[in-house]
Amino acid sequence: MPPQTVCSESYLVIGSYDNRQEADNLAYFKKTNFCRFLVSTILLTQNITKNNFIFVPNLNMNEEWTDEKLYAKYGLTQEEIDFIESMIRPMDLNAKEESEVKL
């Protein structure tokens, strides 16, 4: 959401940033297989709450996180990477969401 807006509990607020680049980096991070896998480990229904992000690390969003960088940062083995990749359906990380806010 753009600056100086509020939302109801219909939306999950998972970060607040001083600039658009950091917010975009968070959106990109949320689409990685790594992040989606961590959420899937605790997700029991299609209803997502902030508690479903308990295993997702709070990373510095000054940089863009990719699966490769995340796998290296957390020292995942090839077997672990293959497991994640087999469990999570690929997502086009470059596709813009229709609902993205235009500033």
pLDDT given at position 80: 97
**Prediction pTM value:** 0.76
The model's pLDDT over 9-52, given as tens digits with 9 standing for 90+, comes to 677 777 778 889 998 999 999 999 999 999 998 887 777 777 77
Residues in the chain: 103
Domain ranges of the chain: 20-87
The model's pLDDT over 42-97, given as tens digits with 9 standing for 90+, comes to 887 777 777 778 889 999 999 999 999 999 999 999 999 999 999 998 887 665 55
pLDDT given at position 26: 92
Q: Long-range contacts for 89-96 (Cβ within 8 Å, ≥24 apart)?
A: 90/33, 91/31, 91/33, 91/36, 93/28, 93/31, 93/32, 93/66
